[in-house]
Amino acid sequence: MNAFVADKAQTPAGPDAAAEPEVLLRVDNVSLAFGGVKAITDISFDIRKGEIRAIIGPNGAGKTSMLNVINGFYHPQEGTITWRGRERRKMKPYEAASQGIARTFQNVALFKGMTTLDNIMSGRSLKMRRNFFWQVLWHGPAEREEIEHRRKVEDIIDFLEIQAIRKTPVGRLPYGLQKRVELGRALAMEPELLLLDEPMAGMNLEEKEDMSRFIIDVNQEFGTTIALIEHDMGVVMDLSDRVVVLDYGKKIADGPPEEVQASQAVIDAYLGVSH
Amino acid sequence: MLYDIFIDPFVQMYDMPDFFLQVLWEGFVAGILYALIALGFVLIFKASGVFNFAQGIMVVFAGLTLVGLHENGVPAFLALILTIAVMGVLAYGVERVVMRPLVNQPEIILLMATIGLTYFLVGFGEFVFGGEPKQMITEELGLPTGSTAFEMGERGLIILQHIDIAAAVIAVIMVTALGIFFNKTRIGRALRAVADDHQAALSVGISLNQIWAIVWFAAGLVALATGIMWGARSDVSFALEIVAFKALPVLILGGFTSIPGAIVGGLIIGFGEKIGELYWGGLVGGGIESWLAYIIALIFLLFRPQGLFGERIIERI
């Protein structure tokens, strides 16, 4: 299709990785508390390279906290995180970003005053190498670099079918499109692991179908590993390779969608049970 | 009465064009200085959404450091370089001690923090340099001090202070440089990103700490330039801090996020103030210069709350 895809096509996609599962990220016995409130208690799971991993659970189960731990917003009090086979020390979010972890947010976090194009361009800030003084002088190499990045961004815009809103300040866009721009910004980082926090929240059926298609395409064409939080069970069952279920900060199930769906603990957590 | 308000001032302007031009020039210079102060506010507001209450005292602090170093025998240019370094250290310190622990806090908290910073700088400045007003080392820095009189044939004479011309030139250079820096570079985009959303900026790999330090340093440089120019016209004293709040109406006019807005707003306030004082001030007994700016800003707020160039805020309900 284009250069953007070509770059990514070398990484093996889902099915290959499944044969010999290589673990991209592993979370071991992680606990996170805010004062006396325990958000996450002793959770362990892994994310394999090339898969779509869903994290589900009722509201307040600690799903978003888990993502925040993975991309460095929160630092767990206990437990370890292993990223590409190496145990990760306490890490700042921008360091996580520079190591290939991108994310979107539950309630869209875009740069509202900027255009769609600038928003997605901002996703490439880590890839830009020309230093400060080149930037100030602007001409020559820095400009060439800018053009090169712009080309990649245009590829993403094509891929997400948002050409028409390229120059629109994102604050004016409807919610569904904002979510799509946010995905675009994360993709511009060419991440190895993409964290999606409720990518379909607040969308209508058609928008959900579009978004599902984009997620599958990102996973299969670019080989990007995806971890997503989603409440729409239909979407979760269709998209994901494996599902981890949290409830009250604890892991209550982990496995392929069908298996998780049949688990009594999960049914109880979702439907409620008298204790 | 109506004659005094609507006709007489214009008759005067026509009758004594030299005086009118002189007033315009004074207004222009005052406007440039307001614009410089406002610029310092805009830089930090753009990057962190914080109204930096301490910008005024930073102007004083920069001026005092420069003069204080010189008084202690440091040559003027070395003192200038050292002062720039001090502003750099201040920027780093503010980022490390004030901003970093307050990431993602509500804006009001950050505002309170800058108020705290103001009082710290007042105390620290007085402790180190003493509280008395000081003379700016204008000549030693190589800035012109004389004045030129332009004769306008039969119609009178205009006097231009050279330091004012220098102030205007320096302001233009600074504004152009900052404009290019923030609109055309990656750092500029990162800065706007940080201003819009801290979390999102972090998630795409922008280091908040780095951006904030850069911005506070830029604001420190602007404060230094303002301190020199303003100090050259009066004294370097803590009273300047109060004058710095004239930047508030300037910002309301120009918009809190716009560099050109700061300039245009500064000029409108500068012109408006001087012309208002000299042609209309007499009607209410004079002395309107000190509050006219706020009235202009208030009227403006009613019609264009986001300012001339500010970003329009659209709330989806």
Q: Cβ–Cβ of A122/B203 closer than 8 Å? A: no
Q: State yes or no: pLDDT of A134 exceeds 70.
A: no
Task: With beta carbons less than 8 A apart as the criterion, state whether B265 and B250 touch.
Answer: yes
pLDDT at A137: 56
Task: With beta carbons less than 8 A apart as the criterion, state whether A247 and A57 touch.
Answer: yes
pTM over 0.80: no
**Closest CA of chain A from B282, distance in Å:** 45
ipTM: 0.75
B262-308 residue pLDDT tens: 888 999 999 998 888 888 887 887 778 888 888 888 888 888 877 77
Q: Find the mean pLDDT for residues A197-203.
A: 88
Across the interface, of A73, A121, A138, the residue whose CB is closest to B185 is A138
> In what helix (H) or strand (E) does residue B24 lie, and over which residues does it extend?
helix B17-48
Residues 162-181 of B with CB under 8 A from A: 180-181
Q: State yes or no: pLDDT of A188 exceeds 70.
A: yes
Q: Which chain B residue is nearest to residue A126, measuring alpha carbons? A: B205
A214-264 residue pLDDT tens: 999 999 988 899 999 988 888 888 899 999 999 988 998 899 988 888 888
Which one is predicted more confidently, A226 or A114?
Answer: A226
Q: Find the mean pLDDT for residues B191-209.
A: 82
Q: Cβ–Cβ of B197/A110 closer than 8 Å? A: yes
Amino acid at residue number B227: G
Contact with chain A for residue B317, Cβ under 8 A: no
Report which of B204, B195, B269, B231 is spatially closest to residue A93, judged by C-alpha positions: B204
Which one is predicted more confidently, B15 or A236?
Answer: A236
Q: State yes or no: pLDDT of A18 exceeds 80.
A: no
Q: State yes or no: pLDDT of A8 exceeds 60.
A: no
Beta strands in A140-197 (DSSP E): 193-197
Q: Find the mean pLDDT for residues B210-232.
A: 89
Across the interface, of A111, A136, A189, the residue whose CB is closest to B197 is A111
Which one is predicted more confidently, B239 or B267?
Answer: B267
Identify the weakest region by mean pLDDT among A146-155, A156-165, B308-317.
B308-317
Token pair of A224 as six digits = 């990007």
- DSSP state letters, chain B: -HIIIIIHHHHHHHH-HHHHHHHHHHHHHHHHHHHHHHHHHHHHHHHHS---TTHHHHHHHHHHHHHHHHHTT--HHHHHHHHHHHHHHHHHHIIIIIIGGGTT--HHHHHHHHHHHHHHHHHHHHHHH-SS-B---TTTTT----EEEEE-GGG-EEEEEHHHHHHHHHHHHHHHHHHHHHHHSHHHHHHHHHHH-HHHHHHTT--HHHHHHHHHHHHHHHHHHHHHHHHHHS-BSTTHHHHHTTHHHHHHHH-TT-HHHHHHHHHHHHHHHHHIIIIIGGGGTS-THHHHHHHHHHHHHHH-TT-SSSPPP----
> Alpha-carbon distance A179 to A198, whole Å?
10
Q: CA separation (Å) from B126 to B76, B131, B238?
A: 21, 5, 9
List of chain B residues whose C-beta atoms are within 8 Å of the C-beta of residue A74: none
Contact with chain A for residue B186, Cβ under 8 A: yes
Sign of CA dihedral A239, A245, A248, A250: negative
pLDDT at B314: 53
> Alpha-carbon distance A252 to B235, whole Å?
71
What pLDDT band is residue A111 in, cutting at 50, 70 and 90?
Answer: confident
DSSP-based helix, strand, coil % in chain A, nearest 5: 40, 25, 35
pLDDT at B261: 86
A47-56 residue pLDDT tens: 999 999 999 9
Q: State yes or no: pLDDT of A1 exceeds 80.
A: no
Q: State yes or no: pLDDT of A11 exceeds 80.
A: no
Across the interface, of A93, A114, A130, the residue whose CB is closest to B202 is A93
Q: Cβ–Cβ of B180/A121 closer than 8 Å? A: no
Q: Cβ–Cβ of A73/B199 closer than 8 Å? A: yes
B150-185 residue pLDDT tens: 776 666 778 888 888 888 888 888 888 887 777 777
User: pLDDT averaged over chain A?
Assistant: 84
Q: Find the mean pLDDT for residues B38-65.
A: 87
List of chain B residues whose C-beta atoms are within 8 Å of the C-beta of residue A110: 196-197, 200
Q: Which chain B residue is nearest to residue A131, measuring alpha carbons? A: B186
- Residues of chain B above pLDDT 70, percent: 96
DSSP code of residue A21? P
